[in-house]
A and B are shown apart, each in its own frame.
Chain A
Amino acid sequence: MKWFNTLVARIRALLGRDVVLQDIDEELRTHIEMEAEANRELGMTPEEARLSAARSFGNVGSIRDLAYEVRGGGLMETLWQDLRYSGRMLLKHPGFTLIAVLTLTLGIGANTAIFSIVNAVLLRPFPYQAPEQLVMLAESVSGQRNGSVSYPNFVDWRAQNNVFESVSAVRWNESYNFTGVDEPERLQGRLVSAGFFSLLGVKPLLGRDFVAEEDRPGATPAVIISHGFWTRRFGNDQSVVGKQITLNNQGYTVVGVTPPGFQFGLDADVTMPIGLSAERFKARGADPGIAVVGRLKPNVSQQQAETETNVIYSRLEQQYPESNTARRAYLTSLHENFVGDVRQPLLILLGSVGLVLLIACANVANLLLVRASTRRREMSVRVALGANRWRIIRQLLTESLMLAVIGAVLGILLAHWGTSFIASQLPAGIPRLNEASVDVSVLVFTLGVSVVTGLLFGLAPALQASRLNLTEALKEGDRGSSGGRQPLRSLLVIGEVALTLTLLVGAGLLIQSFRRVLQVDPGFDPQNLLTMQVSVNNTDGHQVAAFFDQWQERVRRLPGVKATAVSNGLPLGVVNHPVFFIEGRPRPENGKELSGIRYTVSPGYFDTMGIALIRGRVFTAQDTRDTPLVAIIDEALAQQHFQSEDPIGKRITQSSSGSPSYEIVGVVRHVEQDNLEGQSERPSQFYLNFNQIPINRLPTQVRRINLLTRTGVEPSSLVPALREQIAGLNKDQAVFNVRTMEDIVAQSIAPRRFSMMLLGIFAIVALALASIGIYGMMSYAVAQRTREIGLRMTLGAQSGNVLRLVIGHGMKLALVGVALGLVASLALTRTMKTLLFGVSATDPLTFISIALLLAVVALLACWVPARRAAKVDPIVALRYE
Chain B
Amino acid sequence: MANPNPKADLLQGTLDMLILKALSLGPLHGYGVIQRIRRMSDEMLTVEQGALYPALYRIELKGWVSAKWGENETGRRAKFYKLTRAGQKQLRVEEESWDRLALVVAKMREAT
Contacts and interface: CB of A to CB of B under 8 A. Distances in A.
A58 B29 CA distance: 18
Interface stretch (A2-10, A201-209, A354-362): A2-10
A31 B76 contact: no
A476 interface: no
B106 interface: no
A70 B54 CA distance: 6
A interface: dominant SS: helix
Contacts of B49: 28, 31, 56-58, 63
B57 interface: yes
Contacts of B50: 58-59, 62-63, 66
B61 A30 contact: no
Nearest to A67: B53
A58 B47 CA distance: 13
B54 A67 contact: yes
Tell me which of A24, A30, A56, A57 has the highest count of chain B C-beta atoms within 10 A of its own C-beta: A30
A1 B30 contact: no
B100 interface: no
Contact of B53 (A5, A24, A389): A24
| CB-CB nearest 8 A-B residue pairs | A34-B31, A70-B57, A67-B53, A70-B54, A63-B50, A31-B31, A27-B79, A30-B78
A71 B63 contact: no
Contact of A2 (B2, B4, B62, B79): B62
Interface string B14-33: 00000000000000011100
B43 to A, nearest CB: 15
Nearest to B3: A390
Interface residues of B, number: 21
Contacts of B31: 30-31, 34-35
B108 interface: no
A26 B57 CA distance: 14
B4 A388 contact: yes
B48 interface: yes
Interface in A1-42: 1-2, 5-6, 9, 24, 26-28, 30-31, 33-35
A864 to B, nearest CB: 42
Contacts of B79: 26-27, 30
B73 to A, nearest CB: 12
A56 B31 CA distance: 12
A66 B58 CA distance: 11
Interface of A: 1-2, 5-6, 9, 24, 26-28, 30-31, 33-35, 56-59, 62-63, 66-67, 69-72, 388-390
B33 to A, nearest CB: 10
Given A31-B30, A31-B31, A63-B50, A9 B2 contact: no
A2 B1 contact: no
A198 B73 CA distance: 79
Contacts of B61: 2, 5-6, 9, 70-72
A99 B37 CA distance: 60
B106 to A, nearest CB: 34
B39 interface: no
Nearest to A394: B1
Contacts of B89: none
A5 B87 CA distance: 14
Contacts of A66: 50, 53-54
A390 B57 contact: no
Nearest to B66: A5
Contacts of B78: 27, 30, 34
A390 B30 CA distance: 31
B92 interface: no
Interface string B40-79: 0000000011100110011011110000000000001111
A67 B57 contact: yes
A389 B78 CA distance: 38
A67 B60 CA distance: 12
Given A1-B63, A2-B62, A27-B30, A34 B53 contact: no
Most buried by A among B1, B54, B62: B54
A70 B61 CA distance: 9
A66 B57 CA distance: 10
A70 B4 CA distance: 17
B7 to A, nearest CB: 15
Given A28-B53, A69-B54, 12 more contacts: A1-B63, A5-B60, A24-B53, A26-B79, A28-B49, A30-B78, A31-B31, A57-B49, A63-B50, A66-B50, A70-B57, A72-B61
B85 to A, nearest CB: 11
A70 B58 contact: yes
Nearest to A66: B54
A390 B53 contact: no
Contacts of B4: 388-390
Nearest to A58: B50
A26 B60 CA distance: 17
Contacts of B77: 30
Contacts of B1: 390
A59 B60 CA distance: 23
Nearest to B32: A34
Nearest to B50: A63
A296 to B, nearest CB: 57
Contacts of A24: 53
A266 B57 CA distance: 68
Nearest to A35: B31
